[in-house]
Structure 1
Amino acid sequence: MTVNVDLDKLAGELTTVRDYWRYAISRFRAENLTFGHGTSTAVDDAAFLVLDSLDLPIDALDPFLDARLTAAERRLLAERIETRVSTRKPSAYLTGRSYIQGIRFLVDERVIVPRSFIGEILFTEYSGDEDSLYLPDPYGVESVVDICTGSGCLAILAGKLFPNAQIDAVDLSGDALDVAKLNVAEHELGSRLTLHQGDLFAPLKNRRFDLIITNPPYVDHEEMAVLPEEYRTEPSMALDGGPDGLDLVRRILTDAPKHLNPGGGMICEIGTGRELLEEEFPDLDFFWLDTAESEGEVFWITAEALGVENPKKKKK
């Protein structure tokens, strides 16, 4: 049961970062909050909320633990901790910011909180000295499209990882694209990244790309019916993937060959629908990618596996 808290009294009693971090952990645990919007535990969520609210590095808690806070900072933290509990809104909505691989994005309730496994995969594959075993040479990619872009986070990551590419990003939600515009401006990618409103590939006409990136809605209706309150604060259209979660994934797979250049490919996040997808598309050669927190929820598939022929290799 949620308790009534005197914010003025609380702000007077707690004085350091350590105090608010400890207090937030206790409150979050007592209220059985749900996590998963960039953090996975009460400890991590409390640290994120405190540090990001103070505009401190979110991965550097220890140096600031015993820092004394101003009266305004104490009141802000007291209010945000209680708002997190009373509304169940993800902490990212309260600070207005979310992070993928340390890169900051602006967010609000018009978009889903960024948390795609694709970001981790891209950075892992392109962070070392060796070439990726399956993804294309980052300097050779000249065109990328992000389908279901939401806040624009994956399109922006693509802009940073593929320096020679023009990026397109599509979403059906005009509200989401308004947030994406803010992020494109924030990351100064306006000259290379174009946003489109529409249904999947429709706004792109017959254009083809070297790389398709997509993290479509993939929550099935059974799971939608029991989502924790934190997830219910997000736009339902960004989560609802149809009865079995794969409605949009099917459409993307069907249309992708018409929008891929020979030698290209697609990386797609589908959640837990791997078995269903493989059963329905037994002839497709999916290459499943794991991360630290996921197994078999993201696939890579080449243009050739999707039936895209290279004109140079056609028989005369």
Structure 2
Amino acid sequence: MIDRMESVMESVVGGLDIRWDRQVLEPRPWTVEQAEWLAELSATAPAGAALELCSGVGHLGLVLHRLTARRLVMVDANPRACELAAENARAAGTEQVEIRNSVMTRALESQERFALVLADPPWVPRAEITRFPDDPTIAIDGGPTGLDLAVQCLDLIEQHLLDGGHAVLQLGTAEQVEELMAERAPTRVELVEVRRRERGVLAHLRTC
């Protein structure tokens, strides 16, 4: 059951007022770099919608939508995160956002395709999540190696990214990116660039 007695807070992220509480991951302003990078890449992407996987309260997807005006589908397994994402979308004044509360492997129809994909999976190895006591376990636990949800994200990017499309995936380290690409060895998607940031890395993927 969702605890609605949790106090709701607000942060300004990418120029948007974003509501959140302690049942979800706090939206950090420095994470906006991910949405801004994908928005830049949007200029060379085909027409089509954007998808955000592991969207949390929706701040990155909403920034991407504001910068590109593309229709947006956001997916997250946490019902409270989806409730807050819906509130944040309404506050942003957009009607072109669809929020799906689902595990991501069941969230998309087989025929759905997207021009852009933001992927923000939990990437902290399970043995290390105690290093981040203020963060909800569901939002940071990436399994034994930190890649359990990242593997699912990469599979969905492989299946649902349009030809000529772009994705930006966040992980903890460049080594995790290398391990992920080696483990899954996608056939339609290639790694273009990895950028280090304040906490973690961003990986640009595109169809090949």
Q: TM-score surpassing 0.5? A: yes
Distance 2:191 2:29 in 1: 19
If the length of structure 1 is used for normalisation, what is the TM-score? 0.56
Are residues 1:147 and 2:50 paired?
Answer: no
Q: Distance in 2 between matches of 1:274 and 1:167?
A: 25
Q: Indicate the percent of aligned positions where both proteins have the same amino acid.
A: 24
Query: Structure 1 residues 188, 221: closer, same or farther in 2, change over 3 A?
Result: same
**Residue equivalent to 2:67:** 161
Aligned position for 2:3? none
What's the CA shift string for 1:109-160, capped at 9, x where partnerless? 221111376521443675xxxxx4xx13189643001111110111211210
Structure 1 residue runs of 5 or longer lacking an equivalent are 1-92, 127-131, 305-316
Alignment of 1:232-271 (within 5 A): 234-271=135-172
Amino acid at match of 1:114: P
Secondary structure in 1 matching 2:88: helix
Q: CA deviation at 1:196?
A: 0.6
Larger radius of gyration: 1
Q: RMSD in angstroms over aligned alpha carbons?
A: 2.6
Distance 2:96 2:206 in 1: 24
Please tell me whether residue 137 in structure 1 is matched to residue 50 in structure 2. Answer: no
Partner of 1:202: 106
The structure richer in strand per residue is: 2
Q: Distance in 2 between matches of 1:194 and 1:261?
A: 19
Distance 1:238 1:282 in 2: 26
Q: Separation in 2 of the partners of 1:139 and 1:280?
A: 27
SS of the residue aligned with 2:42?
A: coil
In 2, Cα distance between equivalents of 1:144 and 1:251: 17
| Kept after mapping to 2: 8 A contact 1:141/1:162 | no
Query: Runs of 5+ in structure 2 lacking a partner?
Result: 1-5
Matching of residues 171-250 of structure 1 within 5 Å = 171-189=76-94, 191-206=95-110, 207-224=112-129, 226-229=130-133, 231=134, 234-250=135-151
